A and B are shown apart, each in its own frame.
Chain A
Amino acid sequence: MLGDYLPVLILGGLAFAFVVASLFASSLLRPSRPSPAKLAPYECGNEPVRLPKGEKFSVKFYVVAMMFIIFDIETIFLFPWAVSFRKLGLFGLVEMAVFIALVFVAYVYIWMQGGLEWEQAPRPMERTAAEGEQEEELLRAG
């Protein structure tokens, strides 16, 4: 059983050896003449003035990551279910239907709450006049 993973192990070992060997070889072969300008971190040719501070990482990304993790777990349970699907019969199908339905409830709730909106969607009434004119022109042309 573990023998099946031997090629993977050999590949991993070879990749690791390649990285170590090439880094070591290049450290032997390359000339090393550091200067302050070369060692400075590269930022489009300018010296870095300050660390980015004000821009906060948006919490929306966290919500997306959370959705991903929940549905990842759902997939994990789908996999053994699918492998032994024929032996489980109707009972297994009902079990999985209940499972998916429950997780889907959470999905629908978040959708209804606007948790999936990236920005506040503009309401139709608030469209700018320019947009309205463009649309009318398109309608006339079409």
Chain B
Amino acid sequence: MTGQEYAFVVLALVGTVGAVRLVTAKNVVHAALYLVVTLAMVGSIYLVLGAEFVGWVQILIYVGAIVILFLFGLMLTKAPIGRESLDNQQRGLALLVALAVLAGLVFLIQDAFHWGDRKMNLVHNTTGEVGRSIFQHYVLPFEAVSFILLAALIGAVVLARREERE
């Protein structure tokens, strides 16, 4: 184990705990705060992996904006407190499916990448490299994203303000 692996394992453990608490929380606001923990840990993992720009975008967009949107959504829809009212009756079945998915994925990863001989030599990717890649090789997806943003903004405003105008 290298130092980077230790850093990764610590961040991944904290992130996993946050994710598990998110899906088992009794209070919706607590769930949103656990989401912040997990997203911040994932962002730190990007930094450890050398993807600096993606890491900071994760912090800015996810932790800074999307969680705020979630909190606004929670304030606009009053939710009851307690697991019984937040969960449905299929908790056991859901756990079974999730464990099956996890087992399948772990088996596939183990099968495809033998432990130990697949090593990532972490190189530092700068923002400029990302920019050149976006604007030289991924032009069409980039413009498609702008169209999606257009549709999302108009759609959200039209949906959310519909009743107020009447």
Contact = CB atoms under 8 A, between A and B. Distances in A.
Contacts, number: 130
Given A68-B65, A115-B157, A83 B149 contact: no
A21 interface: no
A83 to B, nearest CB: 5
A77 B57 CA distance: 10
B154 A65 contact: no
Determine the main DSSP class of A at the interface with B.
helix
Interface string A94-105: 011011101101
Interface stretch (B15-23, B25-33, B105-113, B135-143): B135-143
Interface string A76-118: 1101111110011001100110111011011101100111000
B139 to A, nearest CB: 6
Given A2-B47, A73-B149, A105-B150, A62 B72 contact: yes
B124 interface: yes
B147 A72 contact: no
Nearest to B7: A2
B64 to A, nearest CB: 7
Contacts of A81: 131, 134-135
A24 interface: no
Contacts of A92: 135
Given A69-B66, A115-B157, 17 more contacts: A56-B76, A62-B160, A63-B160, A66-B69, A76-B60, A76-B61, A77-B142, A83-B126, A83-B128, A88-B131, A88-B135, A91-B135, A96-B135, A102-B146, A106-B150, A107-B153, A114-B165
